[in-house]
Amino acid sequence: MAASRWTTPAARILSRRNLMVLSLVHSVLYTGLMLCAFLLGKPQPATFTFGLSHGIMYMVMTAAAAVAMRLRTLSVTTGLIVIVLGAACPYFGSFDLVREERRAPVTPP
């Protein structure tokens, strides 16, 4: 029997790899926001766009991490790091997701 038979569609969508990619995108958006806000003199509408994108991505990442913890595709420690530290600094969540992805055992398809 294939292991994928017992996984739900939500567990496949909220895999560690997908969450890692979302978290890295969130970190890039946050970097753009910080660059616009502090180094480039707050150009509008770029600062607003990056700020709105960061806020929306934080809410999406929080919901995704909470559901992934419930589905047990994400460890509780990593989920809490993403949820608690994601608003102020999403780099911690990205780092922990990359670290968890590298530690995960490789399963054959």
Residue 97 scores a pLDDT above 50: yes
Peptide bond between residue 109 and the one before it cis (omega within 30 degrees of 0): no
Q: How far apart are CA 80 and CA 86, in angstroms?
A: 9
Would you say 81 and 32 are in contact if contact means Cβ atoms under 8 Å apart?
Answer: no
- The Cα-based distances of 74 to 19, 27, 81, 98 in angstroms read 9, 19, 11, 12
The whole-chain average pLDDT of the chain stands at 85
Kindly tell me if the per-residue pLDDT of 108 is higher than 50.
Answer: no
Domain boundaries, the chain: 11-101
Categorize the per-residue pLDDT at 59 as very low, low, confident or very high, splitting at 50, 70 and 90. Answer: very high
pLDDT bin (cut points 50, 70, 90) of residue 93 is: confident
* 62/2: higher pLDDT: 62
67 contact partners, CB below 8 Å, separation of at least 6: 10, 14
* Mean per-residue pLDDT, 35-58: 91
